[in-house]
Amino acid sequence: MQHHISLKTYNTFGVDASARNFIEINNEQDLNTFFIQGVFQQEFFVLGGGSNVLFTQDFEGTILKINNKGIQHFIEGSNIFITAAAGEVWNDLVWYCIDRNFPGLENMALIPGSVGASPVQNIGAYGAELMDFFYTCRAFDTYTGELKTFTNQECSFTYRDSIFKTKFKGRFIILSVTYKLRIDNKINTSYGAIETELLNRNITSPTIKDIAEVVSFIRVQKLPDPKTIGNAGSFFKNPVVSHDKLVTLKEDFPTIVYYPFINNTFKLAAGWLIEKCGWKGKSVGDVKIWNNQALVITNTGQATGKEIFKVSEQIIDDVNAKFQVILEREVNIL
């Protein structure tokens, strides 16, 4: 255990905060040791790639950095089961699958973060959702010191949400995740930007590698590289509204961008809402809304977490005032 460690290099916003205690977890035995020592009886936060967190102040508890590694798979009929350690980089897992021609995850290429965070956030992008490929995960119960396996159904997945962010928030530490892919999974090119870029490249029969490369290209064009400009990717969720609410919005805003969701509900493009409120490209000190994607808040210099949070509050207020829609942050606020 280390003490009073700077977290600046452990979060993609590059916010300068410190942790009173800092522990690296390399295997399950480490968790057992710290459980016996009573570490989990005090405040703690599990940190993966640091790509979905905003530190608004120093963390007075213990930061647990998950570093376990390993990917393995087996094939059973048309099913491919892939198990990855929580500390693996998500994009490395995607390319593990692509290199072996295992379809399913290619549309989620280049999503920042770790494998362990994938079921917590129920990540998704470009027409693909983690919950459609998630099979099980193994997790450490910080209340009892026991291991538990969660099935897909037990995770209660909804849009960018899971039981790990609601009922069991802060209780379980995910150690590994198993995904179930199918050899005959169809390539998904339904997302408009993918189809456009495939046409630009004269690709008519894309492979999963083509899809991953195109998705990666699109993401790089739209999102800033956190290695050079501090950010956490999409800061807000796309809000979900009822059919009646959508009809009302379309009357006032005919060009509003939306996508069919589930149970006669619709996802609104949060970036479009934010842009129409005049925030795209706007700066407040060292906090800037990205020029190419209004969903992204960036730290262009030495912005504090509190300053970034304040700007996000102003955006939420402006969107609500204009559209009567409340944006929800996707990023964890500490």
Residue 91 vs residues 86, 142, 229, 307: alpha-carbon distances, Å: 13, 28, 19, 30
Q: Which of 327, 219, 202, 225 is nearest to 270 (CA)?
A: 327
Strand order in the sheet with 283-284: 230-234, 296-299, 287-289, 283-284
Which residue shows structure tokens 């530490």?
173
Cα atoms in the Cβ-side hemisphere of radius 13 Å centred on 54: 27
How many whole angstroms separate alpha carbon 17 and alpha carbon 114? 21
Q: Which one of 88, 197, 213, 330 is the catalytic residue?
A: 330
Q: Which one of 88, 118, 160, 162 is the catalytic residue?
A: 160
Reading the block at residue 255, the tokens are 């060009």
How many whole angstroms separate alpha carbon 314 and alpha carbon 297? 12
* Dihedral sign, Cα of residue 110, residue 113, residue 115, residue 117: negative
Q: Is 173 helix (H, G, I), strand (E, B) or coil?
A: strand
Q: Which one of 118, 162, 234, 312 is the catalytic residue?
A: 234
Q: CA 137, 139, 140 angle in degrees (round to 5)? A: 170
Burial of 100 (0-12, 13-18, 19+ CB in 10 A): exposed
> Is 330 noted as a catalytic residue in this protein?
yes
Q: Where do runs of H (alpha helix) occur along the chain?
A: 28-36, 90-99, 117-121, 192-200, 208-222, 243-252, 270-276, 305-323
> Is 171 noted as a catalytic residue in this protein?
no
> Is 213 noted as a catalytic residue in this protein?
no
The catalytic residue positions are: 160, 234, 330
